[in-house]
Amino acid sequence: MKALSRSVIPTRWGKFEIVAYGTDYNDPMPHLALIHSQQQEQENVLVRIHSECMTGDLFESTRCECGSQLRKSFEQIAEQGGIIIYLRQEGRGIGLIEKLRAYELQDAGLNTVEANMELGHAPDERSFDLGIQILEDLGIRSIRLLTNNPEKIKAIEGSSIELKERIPLIIEPTKENQDYIQTKKNLLGHMLD
């Protein structure tokens, strides 16, 4: 995987350099690094490693808190500088179609973990190694990580990048996502206290 293209995009949170990462120029789903214009350092960088969630990120579904977490990350990074790594691993790595099939099963009474397993998937099939490779390519040596997910912490701790601090990214539950958030806490170990 390598940086394939770079550009600057203005957003409501300021200007970001956007860098597309993939294996070749025909990659239709590159991973992205969004580097805030204030970001200059390689140490103690505020970082969000965010897995794509089309329904939450783009359509602002309240079925999950993904879109709210992404927007809150942009807000914090706009204040302090930092980087958002946007990994194209929709639906905890199972893809959009399977994620929507899992939603059907959740509507029938299963929780998010049970639904993924009913479809023949692991509860979470994501890998955060690609995010680490991107950070390494950008020359980042130590980070303050915006996350509630212990798997992201384990991935960083097993890498060349030093984890200086975990910063909780708590979103107030809605009626539609309170069971989902509770499942993430109880079954996937997310740190949501």
- Catalytic positions are 124, 126
Kindly state the tokens that stand for 154. 């384990």
Round to whole Å and give the CA distance between 128 and 33. 13
In order of 16, 22, 32, the CA distances from 5 in angstroms are 14, 10, 10
Round to whole Å and give the CA distance between 190 and 113. 13
C-alpha closest to that of 36 among 86, 87, 85, 78: 78
Number of other residues whose CB lies within 10 A of the CB of residue 32:
18
Residue found by looking up tokens 């399977």 in the block: 98
C-alpha closest to that of 126 among 193, 31, 34, 13: 31
In order of 27, 42, 50, 172, the CA distances from 139 in angstroms are 23, 6, 19, 34
